[in-house]
Amino acid sequence: LRMFQDLRDSNSSNFQVSEFILMGFPGIHVWQHWLSLPLALLYLLALSVNILILTVINKEAALHQPMYYFLGILAVVDMGLATTIMPKILAILWFNAKTISLPECFAQMYAIHCFVTMESGIFVCMAIDRYVAICQPLRYLSIITECFVIKATVFMTLRNSLCPISVPVLAAQRHYCFQNHIEHCLCSNLGVTSLSCDDRKINSINQLLLAWTLMGSDLGLIILSYALIFHSVLKMNSVEAASKALSTCTSHLILILFFYTVIVVISITHSAGMTVPVIPVLLNVLHNVIPPALNPMVYALKNKELRKGLYKVLRLD
């Protein structure tokens, strides 16, 4: 926050507005408060299931393996992502607390980019884990070690905390003259910079470059990992062995498909300039709260070891 405040102060002559007003969901302002209940329940679900997953992984010695460590890191990232946006959205819907200072807005913009790219990075680590487990099973224990988990996590954290800094920094350098009403529930880069009086081409180019270099490279690595996995599985003589190998990937694939499909849909709906503007805004919000609630449940349903650990912690066995 201090960094963005300094940026703002250094540019004070260019800032005619002192705060932004988050209007919420465009076109449904009159009854948007009714959305607060499902959104609040989704947020509570996301927090509770992720805390439960972290507790199970911590308590069960059998789950002290790289695959579950990555799942634990994903749980922390998911809670961070949901907490970055949901308290403010609920404050808007419940208490009409629509104002947000410029530094707070830029800080939220930065946090959203950090957590979304971090989630994408963790999916890459999980894909590499599955690739080594299926394609190089004899070398798995020597490649995917606790040291590998730490190094991969540190790299992803540094990459995804340093690269998105350009987004709020460039947004803070725009001149906001008169308009300060954002037709959104959160401070999205394009939503905020569209209010600026000057040329925002550099912001759009930077957003596009980040999307292609971070998310694009992540998706490319995931596709490559799974192409190699499917190639390896197709060469297996036993149908049972192939089925068992693929079953360890299904939960991961479901999460990846949902995560990236929604990102593509959001991009298309934003660029298409939809006649129903509430749709891309609602999709954007749901994309930041549904995966945190969905991820642990998909893994718990599809993973036998995690399910057993869950039953133990909940005393259901």
Segment-wise mean pLDDT, segments of 10 residues, the chain, 317 residues: 63 70 90 93 96 94 93 96 96 95 96 96 95 93 96 97 97 92 92 91 93 93 94 86 82 88 80 70 90 88 87 80
pTM of the model: 0.90
pLDDT attached to residue 3: 67
Q: Are 205 and 127 in contact (CB under 8 A)?
A: no
What is the C-alpha separation between 305 and 109, in angstroms, rounded?
Answer: 37
Residue 29 tokens read as 């302002």
238-291 pLDDT tens trace: 888 788 878 878 888 888 988 998 888 887 776 666 556 788 888 889 889 999
* Closest of 264, 251, 289 to residue 78, by C-alpha: 289
Q: Are 184 and 22 in contact (CB under 8 A)?
A: yes
pLDDT attached to residue 38: 95
* Closest of 204, 166, 186 to residue 280, by C-alpha: 186
